[in-house]
Amino acid sequence: MSDEIIVTGGKPLNGTVRIQGSKNAALPIMASALLSDGTSVLRGCPKIADVFLMEKILKALGAVTWWQDHDLYLDCSRADGTVIPEAFSGKMRSSVILLGAMLGRNKKASTGYPGGCVIGKRPVDLHIQVLRSFGAEIVENGSKITGSCGKLKGAEIFFPKSSVGATEQAVLAAALAEGRTILHGGAAEPEIRWLVRYLNGMGAQISFPEKNCICIDGVKSLHPGDGVIPPDRIVAGTYLMAAAATRGEIIIENPPIGEMDGILEVYRKMGGQYHIFGGKLIVNGKKTGLPLALLETEVYPGFPTDLQSPVMAVLATISGISRIREKIFEDRYKTAPWLNRMGARIEIKDGTAVIDGGFPLKGCTVEAQELRGGAALVIAALAADGTTRIRGCRFIERGYEHICEDLTALGGLLIKDRGAL
Ligand SMILES: CC(=O)N[C@H]1[C@@H](OP(=O)(O)OP(=O)(O)OC[C@H]2O[C@@H](n3ccc(=O)[nH]c3=O)[C@H](O)[C@@H]2O)O[C@H](CO)[C@@H](O)[C@@H]1O
Ligand SMILES: C=C(OP(=O)(O)O)C(=O)O
């Protein structure tokens, strides 16, 4: 079966776009539904492959789920399963954060190792340390992680490095644990705050007493949650980069503007212009044209690793030498050879991408090997002359609900080709 996006490029984007709900906010909030015996609602939830997969896992654990438009209902009254099928866990990184919630609920949990984008080693040692800190016994046996516990007990945890997933794991485990948990040096990404807001809406007692510190007073029970999933800052950033690469002018109707400082700063350094009016982000990418001496990916509020490949595609359109150093995931440069096939000149030297930009990009056949790398290929294809066939559309669909429709409405021409079924 064909699994391609066909892009006819060469035209500046122009028009207005709305941003879907955030994948990385929705997934841990779905996990939090396991902490109550009732029906939780996620409003404005994106209909993307990873959300559908998390829904399948919750169903395998006994939840009953349904959708009303973009509102996802999760009835977890009988979600007492303790085993995540390996076929599901291996397809998604976020499957691992269910362990804390499952242990909190059912005292037992087992899963295969998590999958997700292949962008580096991505170990789970911090997740396991976190769960052990709460008193859980965790055994790793070849392909499985198995946990058991009595009542989880609150703990003081010092994270040796910032990890979004391990922080979510700790917050989910602590919500129903006995006593107080204090997390030092956990991740500060906005998705953590969205999870906390949702859990507090369920009756959890979580606060941020000072910078880099989260305090969770465990409660005996939580009621079901009901909350909105925020717009996706990475999707907003992707469309911003698409406007920059094509020197287009677009309006983003509902940007999560408070979460985009690091992204907008880099866009501005490339010569891009924008202003905010009535909560909308008005983007003028016409003057994009300045190379970046060195862009480093950072934890929040710095420039996010998830937009590293999209910005690389933009830099390929800008004359001069730019450099990108990926500091979070050591193997997140897989898109560079495909961009080179389109006419870019990118070399990876000692963990740094050196982009000699401004050479014309030409449509050809390329292959997405992971989610954001795939989005970067879409951006390059929009800026290229001619037609590009991007294989591996399924990776892009893990996180983008309607990238073809959105960018076509902005004047790009994208067609999904699934071939004969
Ligand atoms: C579903 C989701 O929200 N995914 C996001 C999440 O992934 P994820 O939660 O997997 O990323 P982490 O923040 O945990 O990873 C940060 C770094 O810590 C390392 N690490 C992580 C866990 C661990 O147990 N041991 C360890 O060494 C990782 O290999 C990486 O180098 O945050 C990443 C960093 O912002 C984003 O790129 C992903 O889009
Ligand atoms: C790396 C990503 O996702 P995951 O952690 O789910 O693989 C991403 O969203 O860019």
Does residue 237 have its Cβ closer than 6 Å to ligand 2?
A: no
> Does 93 show up as a binding residue in the annotation?
yes
Of all protein residues, the one whose alpha carbon is nearest to atom 8 of ligand 2 is 306
CATH of domain 23-228: 3.65.10.10
Does residue 121 have its Cβ closer than 6 Å to ligand 1?
A: yes
Q: Which of 117, 149, 393, 404 is catalytic?
A: 117
Tens-digit pLDDT profile for residues 23-39: 999 999 999 999 999 99
Tens-digit pLDDT profile for residues 356-372: 999 999 999 999 999 99
**Beta strand 387-391 pairing with 4-8:** antiparallel
Q: pTM for the complete prediction?
A: 0.98
Question: Any idea which residue has 């939090």 for tokens?
Answer: 32
Long-range contacts of 72-76 (CB under 8 A, 24+ apart): 72/30, 72/41, 72/42, 72/45, 73/39, 73/40, 73/41, 74/30, 74/33, 74/39, 74/40, 74/41, 74/42, 75/38, 75/39, 76/33, 76/34, 76/36, 76/37, 76/38, 76/39, 76/40, 76/224
Respond yes or no: is residue 117 known to be catalytic: yes
Residue 406 exposed, middle or buried by CB count within 10 Å (0-12, 13-18, 19+): buried
Between 3.30.470.10, 3.65.10.10, 3.20.20.70, 3.30.930.10, what CATH number should domain 4-20+231-417 receive? 3.65.10.10
Ligand in nearest proximity to the CA of 372: 2
Q: Residue 270 in contact with residue 292, Cβ under 8 Å?
A: yes
Does residue 300 have its Cβ closer than 6 Å to ligand 1?
A: no
**Beta strand 180-184 pairing with 213-217:** antiparallel
Domain with CATH 3.65.10.10 in the chain: 4-20+231-417, 23-228
Asked if ipTM goes beyond 0.85, one says yes
Q: What's the gap in Å between 92 CA and the centre of ligand 1?
A: 12
> Does 231 show up as a binding residue in the annotation?
no
Q: Residue 57 in contact with residue 87, Cβ under 8 Å?
A: no
Q: What is the pLDDT along the chain (421 residues), one digit of tens a residue?
A: 569 999 999 999 999 999 999 999 999 999 999 999 999 999 999 999 999 999 999 999 999 999 999 999 999 999 999 999 999 999 999 999 999 999 999 999 999 999 888 899 899 999 999 999 999 999 998 889 999 999 999 999 999 999 999 999 999 999 999 999 999 999 999 999 999 999 999 999 999 999 999 999 999 999 999 999 999 999 999 999 999 999 999 999 999 999 999 999 999 999 999 999 999 999 999 999 999 999 999 999 999 999 999 999 999 999 999 999 999 999 999 999 999 999 999 999 999 999 999 999 999 999 999 999 999 999 999 999 999 999 999 999 999 999 999 999 999 987 887 664 3
What CA–CA distance (Å, rounded) separates 236 from 357?
24
> Does 124 show up as a binding residue in the annotation?
yes
